[in-house]
Amino acid sequence: MLNGKRIVVVMPAYNAAKTLSQTYSELPRDVVDDVIVVDDGSSDETVRVAQDLGLIVFRHGENMGYGKNQKTCYREALKRDALLRDRQDGVSAMSQRAPGDAALRRARRGTPGSTRDWWG
């Protein structure tokens, strides 16, 4: 939790077995309550890697496309009473940090205005 808000990270995934562990290791787990991986019909070991990491995993039986994957991510996050905040602007690869990371760091430190930046 962060500032009394439940934090659920959603990770849409397609053939992400090689990058999933690294991406997960970079999450601020001190504030993240759940991590949901939605596999979009991968042909690699994405599901096994996610399960080995202890993540919550959902799988599309076939590739449904990024939009459908996002919808599944959001639906499952909402079931966990998460507040949705899309922070993908400017992110071109899974391993890059989203622009919201700076706001998250400020919120951890209790910097004034940080909750507006993160939740606002």
8-86+93-119 placed in CATH 3.40.50: yes
Answer whether residue 117 shows pLDDT above 50.
no
Q: What is the largest CA-CA distance in the chain?
A: 46
Answer whether residue 19 shows pLDDT above 90.
yes
Q: What's the confidence (pLDDT) of residue 86?
A: 57
What is the side-by-side order of every strand in the sheet holding 34-40? 8-13, 34-40, 56-60
* pLDDT band at residue 105 under the 50/70/90 scheme: low
Residue whose pair of structure tokens reads 């949705």 in the numeric block: 84
